[in-house]
Structures are given as C-alpha cells and as structure tokens.
C-alpha cells in the first residue's frame, strides 16, 4: 500500500514543524512509499492503451478472423449494403488507409496489401470534442468509449472522425432477425448473448473491448490474431516504458493514420 | 325552460354514457401482478438487495449500475453480505430471472411502463 491522504498530511504537517519540506520529508519518515504509491495507480488511471499491427504478419485470413471475432463478440450484423454497413474493425487497401503516402512506385506488397483498420482511440479525439451529450468521451486509460444510453444519434462524431471509424444505425439492427435476405447473412444473430445489440439511431464503434479488458482479457481481435500468428497484433500500455507495445515500437519503424491532423492515434502499423 | 324534456333526457343519456365504464367495470379490478421466480432465483433466496428494495427500486439500481459500468468502468458490485456481483442486466440479473415474460413483464404490463432496456439488451430465450 502507498501513502494514504491521512498519512501524507500527517507527515507533511509534522515535517513543517521541523522546517522540513517536500519529498525529502516523506523519504525520511516513510522511505520508499512515495514511489510505491505512484506505481499502484488503479488500472483505470494514468494508462494509455495502444495497439501495434504488424502488417508483415497479417494476411487475408488473419484479417478475416479478426473482423469476424470482433463482430461476433459485439453482435455487429452484416447488413449487406455499403450505405448501412456497421463496422468496428475492417479491411482497407494501402491508398485509403494512408492517403498522402501513396505514390506510383510503392512496392507491390504494400500497394496491394491489406490493412486492418479500427478506431484509433486518439489521444486528442475530435469525436469527443463535438459530442453534445458526452455520449462518447475519453476514459482515463485513453479508450474512446461510447455510452449508447446517452447517444442521441446526431452524428457529429461521425463527421468529426477523420478515420471513418464510426457507424450509424439507420435501422434497428435486430431487423436481421426478420428480414429474409439479412437472416441468411446472419444465421445465428445475436452471436453473443452476453453482449447487447444496439438500437435504431445510435452511433457505434470499437471500444478496445473495454468489457473484456475489465475481466483481464485481451481484445477479441488481438486474441483471434494471436491464435494464428503470435504478435501479429500487440496490445498494451504506452504509458509503461517496459510494456510490450513500447518494446515493439522501439524495435520497429511504425506509422499511424493521418498523423498530420494532430489527433494523435494510438493504433500503430509496422510497415 | 324551452325544450326542457329534451335537454334533461340528453343530460341523463350523456351522464349515463360517461359513467358507463365505471359501472361496467365495477368490482372487476385487474388482479395485482404476481411475478414468478425461477427455480434458480428461489434457490438463491436473496437478490443483490432486499426484496422490498428490489421490488420498489430495481430501476434506480439498474440505472446506477449502467452509469457506473459504462462511464466509470466500475463493473463489480459488493452486496451487503459481501458477495460480489458482476454488474450486468444481461449476464447477472437475467441469469437468475431468466423468465422475463413471467417476471419483468408481469408488473411492467400492469403499470403500463415500457422500459427501453430491451431495445438493446437481449432477452433470455424462454422455453415455451
């Protein structure tokens, strides 16, 4: 246990009497405890979750697996039409993943490669700034979270997000249970009976699997990718200098999507 | 009074029509709802709070849960007896109360409330 408030005040009060101050006093009366109390910050505070995607390690199969794992976990239906599409994680080509970086002599592997895109959980998220009801906001651990209870469906966040990471429910997603064509595409919808669906008129997106993290599990996509190829997707804490993501970032050259916009994305790509 | 007979007859008919529903339904009060507990709920004996509180205020508790879970990432609830519950309507509440039509809906229908929980939260599959 670190210093609690009471003990801290006692030490500070006492040391003021003797003309001592600051960290020196605490080091004298309770050696080593100040550092310890910094370390025991709860999981939800002072962290910054991030993901590193190794483009060399992922292929079509892994991408498909990740998308399927995520969408099954979160009851995201396949609505067939591009206009109504709901996506939390999806496949995109190089040119559209990293616009501005494309040129005609780019290597074939890259140009025709597939990239796995998802919400970047930006450190400076424009979607949160524009949300009029705070239905989307940034948690202390960096996750850009959605509160479906509060979303009024104004779609400001969709306009603000430069990554197209948000989808709007133009209709009740449960219509796939009735509609004949859609039922064929989603035979076992809802796929996860422990997770809610959404309703008509709300915006949804990837939440870095906040509900899984709370149970100490990795995000569904990371878990799915790791069953095929280890470390294809790496998930960890950027705030921790010795963490897995920091090690990967140190040892590889990585890029992020549209960094020039200043949103500070937390999803990195090894290319 | 001109046309007194017609007016009074009209009034009597009017009042009669107005009172008809009261007269017609007199003594036929709808039965107070009697929500059924599942075997699992009966066996557990206690909910996350006392029965009286849950009956009267479960919605306040659920509202607090959804708020603390989604917004504060506080996903566990410690009951008075020290038992820890995972705060989830779908996973925890409906695990015991898996008979929505005979439990939740009974009172909700009686008092004519239509909570929108079920727009998103999936109802348990009930055996007919």
Tokens standing for residue A235: 């998930």
What stretch of H or E contains B84?
Answer: strand B84-86
Question: Residue A46 above 80 pLDDT?
Answer: no
Average pLDDT in chain B: 91
For chain B, percent of residues with pLDDT exceeding 70: 99
Could you report the per-residue pLDDT of A149-202, keeping only the tens digit for each? 999 999 999 999 999 999 999 999 999 999 998 999 999 989 999 999 999 999
Within 8 A of B90 by CB-CB distance, chain A residues are 193-196
The domain locations on chain A are 5-39, 49-270
Q: Rounded distance, CA B1 to CA A232, Å?
A: 96
pTM exceeding 0.90? no
Q: Which residues of B touch A75 (CB under 8 A)?
A: 122
CA distance B106 to chain A (A): 23
CA-based nearest residue to B95, from B36, B44, B34 = B44
Beta-sheet pairing, A267-270 with A254-255: antiparallel
DSSP state of B26: T
CA distance B69 to chain A (A): 9
Q: Using one digit for the tens of pLDDT, what is the confidence trace for A104-119?
A: 888 888 888 899 999 9
The answer to whether the CB atoms of A193 and B122 lie below 8 A apart is yes
| Geometric angle at alpha carbon A210, from A86 and A171, rounded to 5° | 25
In the Cβ-directed half-sphere of A75, how many Cα atoms lie within 13 Å?
A: 21
Q: Which of A199, A223, A228 is nearest to A212 (CA)?
A: A223
Nearest to B69 by CA among A210, A144, A12: A210
Q: Which residues of B touch A145 (CB under 8 A)?
A: 70-71
Pairs of residues, one from chain A and one from chain B, whose beta carbons lie less than 8 Å apart: 37
ipTM of the complex: 0.80
Model pLDDT for residues B23-65, shown as the tens digit of each residue: 888 888 778 888 889 999 988 888 999 999 999 999 999 999 9
How far is the CA of A156 from the CAs of A25, A30, A46, A76, B28, in angstroms? Answer: 51, 51, 28, 21, 53
The bridge status of strand A254-255 relative to strand A233-237 is: unpaired
Percent of chain A residues topping a pLDDT of 70: 89
- Interchain contact, B73 vs A196, CB within 8 Å: no
Cis peptide before B31 (omega within 30 of 0): no
Instruction: Using an 8 Å CB-CB cutoff, list chain B residues near A199.
Output: 116, 119-120
Residue A45, pLDDT score: 46
The 10s digit of each residue's pLDDT in B8-18 is 999 999 999 99
Of A268 and B32, the one with more pLDDT: A268
Q: Please state the three-class secondary structure of chain A as a single string.
A: CCCCHHHHHHHHHHHHHCCCCHHHHHHHHCCCHHHHHHHCCCCCCCCCEEEEEECCCCCHHHHHHHHHHHHHHCCCCCCCCCCCCCCCEEEEEHHHHCCCCCCCCCCHHHHCCEEEEECCCCCCCHHHHHCCCCCEEECCCCCEEECCCCCCCCCHHHHHCCCCCCEECCCCHHHHHCCHHHHHHCCCCCCCCCCCCCCCCCEECCCCCHHHHCCCCCCHHHHHHHHHCCCCEEEEECCCCCCHHHHHHHHCCEECCCHHHCCCCCEEEEC
Give pLDDT, residue A37.
44
> Smallest Cβ distance to B73: which of A75, A139, A198?
A139
HSE of B57 in the Cβ direction (CA atoms, 13 Å)? 9
Mark yes or no for CB contact B91/A139 under 8 Å: no
The CATH number for A49-270, chosen from 2.40.50.430, 3.30.70.20, 3.30.450.40, 3.40.50.720, is 3.30.70.20
Q: Is the Cα torsion angle B7, B13, B15, B18 positive or negative in sign?
A: negative
Nearest CA in chain A to B74: A214
Cα–Cα dist A99/B67, whole Å: 39
- pLDDT at site B117: 93
Of A148, A196, A214, nearest to B73 by CB-CB distance is: A214
Smallest CA-to-CA distance from B66 within B44, B101, B104, B93 is with B93
- The Cα–Cα gap between A208 and A50 comes to 9
Whether residue A38 is predicted with pLDDT greater than 60 in this model: the reply is: no
Q: Which residues of B touch A44 (CB under 8 A)?
A: 72-73
């Amino acid at each position: 246990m670190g210093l609690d408030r009471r003990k801290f005040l006692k030490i500070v009060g006492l040391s003021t009497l003797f003309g001592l101050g600051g960290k020196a006093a605490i080091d004298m009366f309770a050696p080593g405890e100040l550092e310890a109390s910094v370390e025991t910050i709860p999981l939800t505070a002072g962290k910054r979750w991030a993901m590193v995607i190794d483009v060399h390690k992922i292929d079509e199969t892994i991408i498909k697996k990740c998308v399927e794992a995520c969408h099954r976990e979160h009851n995201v239906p396949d609505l067939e039409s591009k206009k109504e599409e709901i996506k939390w994680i999806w496949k995109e080509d190089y040119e559209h993943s990293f616009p501005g970086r494309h040129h005609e002599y780019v290597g074939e592997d890259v140009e025709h490669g597939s990239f796995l895109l998802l919400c970047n959980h930006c450190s400076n998220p424009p979607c949160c700034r524009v949300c009029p009801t705070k239905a989307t906001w940034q948690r202390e651990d960096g996750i850009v979270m959605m509160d479906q209870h509060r979303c009024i469906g104004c779609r400001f966040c969709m306009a603000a997000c430069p990554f197209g990471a948000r989808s709007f429910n133009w209709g009740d997603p449960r219509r796939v249970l009735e509609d004949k064509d859609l039922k064929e595409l989603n035979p076992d919808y809802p796929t996860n009976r422990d997770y809610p669906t959404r309703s008509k008129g709300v915006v949804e997106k990837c939440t870095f699997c906040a509900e899984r993290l709370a149970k100490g599990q990795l995000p569904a996509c990371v878990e799915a990718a790791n069953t095929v190829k280890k470390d294809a997707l790496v998930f960890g804490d950027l705030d921790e200098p010795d963490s897995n993501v920091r090690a990967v970032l140190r040892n590889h050259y990585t890029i992020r999507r549209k960094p020039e916009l200043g949103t500070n994305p937390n999803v990195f790509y090894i290319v | 009074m001109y046309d007194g007979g017609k007016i009074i007859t009209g009034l009597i008919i009017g009042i009669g029509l107005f009172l008809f529903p009261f007269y017609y339904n007199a003594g036929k009060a709808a039965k107070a709802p009697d929500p059924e507990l599942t075997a699992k709920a009966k066996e557990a004996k206690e909910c996350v709070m006392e029965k009286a509180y849950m009956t009267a205020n479960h919605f306040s508790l659920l509202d607090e849960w959804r708020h603390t879970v989604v917004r504060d990432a506080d996903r566990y609830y410690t009951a008075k007896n020290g038992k820890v519950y995972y705060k989830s309507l779908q996973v925890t509440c409906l695990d015991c109360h898996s008979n929505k039509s005979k439990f939740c809906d009974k009172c909700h229908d009686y008092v004519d409330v239509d909570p929108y929980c079920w727009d998103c939260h999936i109802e348990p599959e009930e055996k007919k």
